Chain A
Amino acid sequence: MSLTKEAYIRYKIIDECLTNKFHPYPTVEEIIQACEERLGKTFTISCLQKDIRAMKEDEAMGYHAPIRFSRQHMGYYYSDPEYSINSIPLNSDELQSLEAMADVLSTFSGSRISENYNQAIQKIFAALKEKTTQQGGRRRIIQTDSQINHKGFEYFEKILHAIINKIPVGFIHYSYKKRRFNSIIAHPVLLKEFQNNWYVLAYSEQHRQLRVFGLDRIHDPLFLKTKFHPIDADTVNHYFDNIYGTYPLLGEKLQKITFLVDPLLSDYLKANPIHASQKAVFVASHGMVKFELELVLSQELVNFFIQHSPDIFILKPQNLIKRVSESITRAGIHYNLKKHVRKTI
C-alpha cells in the first residue's frame, strides 16, 4: 500500500497529540484542529477515525499503534506510554534486511571515517538492537573489506564539510612518487573511494586544473575564506568515467585496450567486469577470451595487469605493454637478487 505524504503527516500529527505529556487524552476535535492548523484544510471526524484505525490495524504499514479511547477522560491515548510511531516501527522482514545492511554499514564506522559518522551509525545499531530479539553475539552475515589503522580518515569529515559548503582548503600534501611536500590551495568537489582508499577531487590553484589527492597524503587542512572555484556538476560526475582507479597517467587519452585472458581468469572478468566499457570480443574454442576496454591509462590499471600478468597477454597499446613488461622484468631481477638482498638485511 502506498502511503500518501499527507496521510503520513496526519499520522505524525496524531502521534504528536497522543504523546504530548502536557495535554494528555486529546479529544477527536482537538486532533482534527491540530491537523487543520498544520495542513491548512478541513478534515471530518470519519477521516480521523479511519486514520486511527489504519494506525492500529493496517498490517502493511505495521504501526500496530496501541490507541485507546478513555471514557473517563473522553479522549485518546496510547495504552503503552512509551509508544510512538517515531520509534522505528519495522516489521520482521524489514528488521532482517536492516540487520544485514547494518553489517555493510559497519564497515563505514570505526577507523574508516569520521567520529560524527561513527556516532550516527552507532545510534542506528543501538535502535536496531532494541528492536531485535537476537541481542548480543549475533553472527555476522555480511563481511566487507575494510582496513584498520588506515591513514587519512581523520580529515574525511573536514573535507566533506568543505565540499558541501564550498569552502576552499589549504593543506600540506606529500607526494609519495616525487618524495616532496607541497602547500596546496584546493577547492574540493568530490570524495572518491577506490579499493578502500579515499581520495578528494579538487581544483588545485597551483596546478590550475582538477587534481586527485589521496587523503592519506594530506596534512593539516585549513578552511580558507576566499572565493570558491566552481566546477560544473557534469564535469565532476563524469570525471572518473573513463578511468580505472583515480590517477590517470600524465598525457594519456581515452584509448582501446585489448588483451587475451586465460579461461580461469576470463570467467572471473566476465562475472566482474573491471569497467563499464569492457567487452568480450572473441572467445577461442579452448576458452581463451579476447577482451576490449576503452579507458585512459591509469596507474591502477597498470597495476591490475601486473597483478594478473601470468594469465593475461596485452595486445595493445604498446605503452601499456612496455610499462607492464618493465615492471615484471624488474620484479624478476629483484627475485634473482634475493640472496644478496637477504644478506644486506
Chain B
Amino acid sequence: MYAKLYNLPPYKPNNLNLRLLRIIVDKTFTRIDFGYQATDYYIHGGWANIYPETFLRIKDSGVKLNMQRAVNIPQKPEKHDFESTVDNLHFSLFFPPLPDRTLTFDLIESEPVTPTLFNYYNVKIDQSKAIPVQEKL
C-alpha cells in the first residue's frame, strides 16, 4: 500500500502564524507538516515548541492518537528561539496511522485552548482526494 498525501485547503488555525500544510498517512504513521511564520508581537519573533502530550482526536469514534515524535521543532520545555520577526520554521509531527477512510479529527496541543496553542479543529481528510506517494517514506 502506498502512503497517501492529503493536500488540504487552508484551515483556520487557532494560532494565526501556524499553517497546516499537508498530511501523509502511511501504514505505520501519520505525519502532519506545518509551516510557522515568526510573529511580530515579539522584537525577535518569539519562540516555538510543541507540547509532548499533543494528540489527534478522531471525531466520530473519539479515538485519541498520541504524538510519537516531532521533527524540526523542540518539545516543551525546550524552545526554538527565532532570530527575527521574519524568521520561519517548517516542522512535522508524527502520530500513529489514521484509519484509511474519510474522517474528521482535531489536533490538540492542550485544552482549554489559548491563542498561542497549536490546536486545529475539524480537520477533514477526504479519502477520494488522497494522492498516493510513489516512494518509501
Contacts and interface: CB of A to CB of B under 8 A. Distances in A.
Interface of A: 167, 170, 172, 174, 179-183, 185, 219-220, 222-226
The majority secondary structure among interface residues of chain B is: strand
A224 B24 CA distance: 12
Contacts, number: 61
A299 B88 CA distance: 23
B135 A181 contact: no
Contact of B19 (A180, A185, A222, A225): A180
A179 B19 CA distance: 12
Contact of A185 (B2, B88, B90, B131): B131
A225 B33 contact: no
DSSP class of A's interface residues: helix, strand, loop or mixed?
strand
9 contacts: A170-B133, A180-B19, A181-B37, A220-B90, A222-B24, A222-B133, A224-B5, A224-B132, A226-B131
Interface of B: 2, 5, 7-8, 19, 21-22, 24, 33-35, 37, 86, 88, 90, 131-135, 137
Contacts of B22: 170, 172, 183
A223 B134 CA distance: 5
Given A170-B7, A170-B22, A225-B2, A181 B134 contact: no
Nearest to B21: A183
A225 B21 contact: no
B73 to A, nearest CB: 13
Given A170-B22, A182-B21, A220 B33 contact: yes
Given A180-B19, A183-B21, 15 more contacts: A167-B134, A170-B133, A179-B37, A179-B86, A179-B88, A181-B34, A181-B90, A183-B8, A219-B90, A220-B90, A222-B24, A222-B133, A222-B134, A223-B133, A225-B131
Contacts of A225: 2, 131-134
Contacts of A174: 35, 88, 90
Pairs of residues from A and B, 5 with the lowest C-beta to C-beta distance, nearest first:
A181-B35, A225-B132, A225-B134, A183-B21, A183-B22
